[in-house]
């Protein structure tokens, strides 16, 4: 089924490679649309969380995965998006303009700080963004009129299309809202990736010097990527605020920034799929642990003490193994499995052998 012959340039330009590929995603979409009937309220809530974290992951993936600029501070932009949205809604704004304002505010703030920040690279950029995240934590406490100080803000219900959407009262409606935002952002993301801007991001990631020689304005490409990334993350922050119903500075601790980066790494840096895979792991891992614990308790009588932070530790262990054995993340695993299925029974073991790279100094850029 993968042996299709391309006969038009549009085969490479289109989002879907042929009917079978389109059908796969149509089925996935149908399943997602049917989810409220397939899942109970609790799991629908978890699935909504997957959608929201996927959105945040997409935002980070754009700058870190596709433009190669590691950010350890993206929770800051979730915070900006969340507080903007809530503050505006509490001042009487309608949800949609407030949501757009979240994206625009995060994007603009991202654009403003991107110029000085993105002159750094590698480790310096990572630590600068980390510092940014810590600073925003404090700003979230100080800027009390907007953020509600230490206590935080409660999310008002969303009035949309004559309905009142609330995460608990109408979980279906909130789920569809998140799904709609995510699908639109994903399509825009893919559109960008298949045209000149997206290619310029990849160029900046792989070789700044040759990107520049080919006419890419590197500083501009980074700024564009960073501010779009911040805008997407801001959207995710706004939706997260409604998912959590209440947010304060603790909702966007620097730890969230770090986890978000680990999320896209575990999903697979540099792939759109990775953002989704990562979110699934982050949201569902604690569930899996709880289920496993109950199962062991009931079936085998083994009691495992509930140490605090066990899910984080397991997540960290997963990351550890992933970095060592499969640096391309879950996307890499998925890719191998897919190739194995497509080539069956012709798959060879050495097919994805990695070429050894050797560390060269990063003091030269």
> Helix crossing, 254-267 with 41-60: angle to 10°?
90
Q: Does 92 bind other proteins (CB under 8 A)?
A: no
Give yes or no for residue 10 binding other proteins (CB under 8 A): yes
Shortest Å, Cβ 318 to other proteins: 8
Q: Shortest Cβ distance from residue 266 to other proteins (Å)? A: 9
Binding status of residue 342 toward other proteins by CB under 8 A: no
Q: Which of 34, 142, 290, 304 binds other proteins (CB under 8 A)?
A: 142
Nearer to other proteins, 46 or 208 (CB): 208
Does 31 participate in binding other proteins (rule CB under 8 A)? no
What gap in Å lies between CA 264 and CA 239, rounded to an integer? 19
Which residue from 156, 312, 326, 339 is in contact with other proteins, where contact means CB under 8 A?
312
Which of these segments, 158-166, 258-266, 296-304, 330-338, binds other proteins (CB under 8 A)? 258-266
Q: Is 313 in the site for other proteins (CB under 8 A)?
A: yes
Q: Smallest distance from the beta carbon of 315 to other proteins, in angstroms?
A: 7
Give the DSSP H/E element, type plus range, for residue 131: helix 122-142
Name which position in 100, 104, 111, 127 contacts other proteins (CB under 8 A): 127
Binding to other proteins (CB under 8 A) within 48-77 occurs at 70
Count other Cβ atoms within 10 Å, centred on residue 194.
13
Q: CA neighbours within 13 Å on the CB side: how many for 288?
A: 10
Query: Cα–Cα distance between 174 and 239 in angstroms, integer?
Result: 9
Q: How many residues bind other proteins (CB under 8 A)?
A: 82
327 is a site residue for other proteins (CB under 8 A): yes
> Could you tell me which of 335, 338, 333 has the C-alpha nearest to residue 321?
333
Which one, 159 or 302, has the nearer CB to other proteins? 302
Residue 292 found at the interface with other proteins (CB under 8 A): no
Q: d(Cα 232, Cα 105) in Å, to the nearest integer?
A: 11
Contact between 48 and 236 (Cβ < 8 Å): no
* Dihedral sign computed on CA atoms, order 221, 222, 224, 225: positive
């Amino acid at each position: 089924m993968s042996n299709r012959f391309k006969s038009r340039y549009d085969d490479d330009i289109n989002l879907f490679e042929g009917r079978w590929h389109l059908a796969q995603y149509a089925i996935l979409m149908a399943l997602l649309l049917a989810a409220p009937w397939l899942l109970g309220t609790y799991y629908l809530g978890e699935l909504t969380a997957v959608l929201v974290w996927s959105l945040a992951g997409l935002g980070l993936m754009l700058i870190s995965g596709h433009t190669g600029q590691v950010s350890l501070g993206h929770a800051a932009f979730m915070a900006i998006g969340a507080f903007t949205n809530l503050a505006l809604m509490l001042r009487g704004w309608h949800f949609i303009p407030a949501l757009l304002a979240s994206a625009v505010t995060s994007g603009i703030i991202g654009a403003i700080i991107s110029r000085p920040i993105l002159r750094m690279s590698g480790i310096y950029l990572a630590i600068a963004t980390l510092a940014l995240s810590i600073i925003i934590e404090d700003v979230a406490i100080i800027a009390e009129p907007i953020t509600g100080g230490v206590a935080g803000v409660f999310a008002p219900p969303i009035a949309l299309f004559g309905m009142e959407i609330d995460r608990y009262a109408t979980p279906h409606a909130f789920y569809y809202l998140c799904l709609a935002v995510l699908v639109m952002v994903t399509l825009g993301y893919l559109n960008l990736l298949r045209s000149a801007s997206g290619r310029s991001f990849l160029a900046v990631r792989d070789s700044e010097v040759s990107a520049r020689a080919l006419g890419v304005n590197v500083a501009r490409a980074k700024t564009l990527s960073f501010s779009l990334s911040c805008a997407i993350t801001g959207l995710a922050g706004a939706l997260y605020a409604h998912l959590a119903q209440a947010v304060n500075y603790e909702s966007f601790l620097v730890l969230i920034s770090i986890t978000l980066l680990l999320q896209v790494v575990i999903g697979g840096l540099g792939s759109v799929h990775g953002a989704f895979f990562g979110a699934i792991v982050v949201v569902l891992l604690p569930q899996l642990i709880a289920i496993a614990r109950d199962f062991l308790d009931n079936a085998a009588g083994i009691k495992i003490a509930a140490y605090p932070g066990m899910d984080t530790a397991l997540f960290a262990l997963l990351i550890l193994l992933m970095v060592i054995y499969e640096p391309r993340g879950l996307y890499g695993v998925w890719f191998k499995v897919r190739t194995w299925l497509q080539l069956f029974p012709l798959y060879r073991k050495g097919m994805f052998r990695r070429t050894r790279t050797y560390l060269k100094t990063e003091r030269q850029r």
